[in-house]
Amino acid sequence: MARCVPNTRITPKVRLGSRLFCCRDVEGVAITAFVLAFAVYAFSYTVTDPDLWGHVKFGQDTWNAGGPLRTDPYSYLTAGQLWINHEWLSEVLFWLAFSAAGATGLVLLKLSATLFTVSLVCWWLIRRGIKEAM
């Protein structure tokens, strides 16, 4: 965080909670809050892919079976043949989110995954000493 540096001008200070911030800090907090609010708004926009509901259904089937399925129960051309569902874990997460909160749960899952990824990148950049980019 930026520190108040004495100079020829008087630097106004604001008390937020139990900490004393310079106006520069308050502006930084406001800008960060605005950017985060905009990110939530932007990442909440959802276009549904036609395959989404198939993934949710396969997630439900995988959850109910207690593990990945070995055959595709919805295929009429390859019924009974070995099938490797390489997306089973994400489909189970889709099913759990959908069963908990419906379509809103899927949007919240997407939003939380995106914000977690952005936070992880910011944390990594700060650890590397790249604070000016923040």
Whether residue 94 contacts residue 62, with contact meaning beta carbons closer than 8 Å, is answered with no
**Confidence band, pLDDT 50/70/90 cuts, at residue 19:** low
Sequence letter at residue 107: V
Q: Which residue has the tokens 């396969």?
A: 58
**Confidence band, pLDDT 50/70/90 cuts, at residue 21:** very low
Sequence letter at residue 79: A
Sequence letter at residue 16: L
Taking the model in full, what pTM does it have? 0.63
User: What are the domain boundaries of the chain?
Assistant: 1-45, 48-134
- For residue range 39-62, list pLDDT tens digits in order: 777 777 777 778 899 999 999 999
The conformation of residue 84, written as its DSSP 8-state character, comes to: -
Instruction: Print burial letters for 11-38: b (CB count within 10 Å at least 16), e (below 16).
Output: eeeeeeeeeebbeebeeeeeeeeeeeee
- For residue range 69-123, list pLDDT tens digits in order: 999 888 888 888 898 999 999 999 999 999 999 999 998 999 899 889 988 988 8
**53 contact partners, CB below 8 Å, separation of at least 6:** none
Q: Look at residue 59 and give its three-state secondary structure.
A: helix
Q: Rounded to 5, what percent of the chain is helix, strand, coil?
A: 55, 5, 40
pLDDT at 17: 52
> Residue 58 burial by CB count (10 A; 0-12/13-18/19+): exposed, middle or buried?
buried
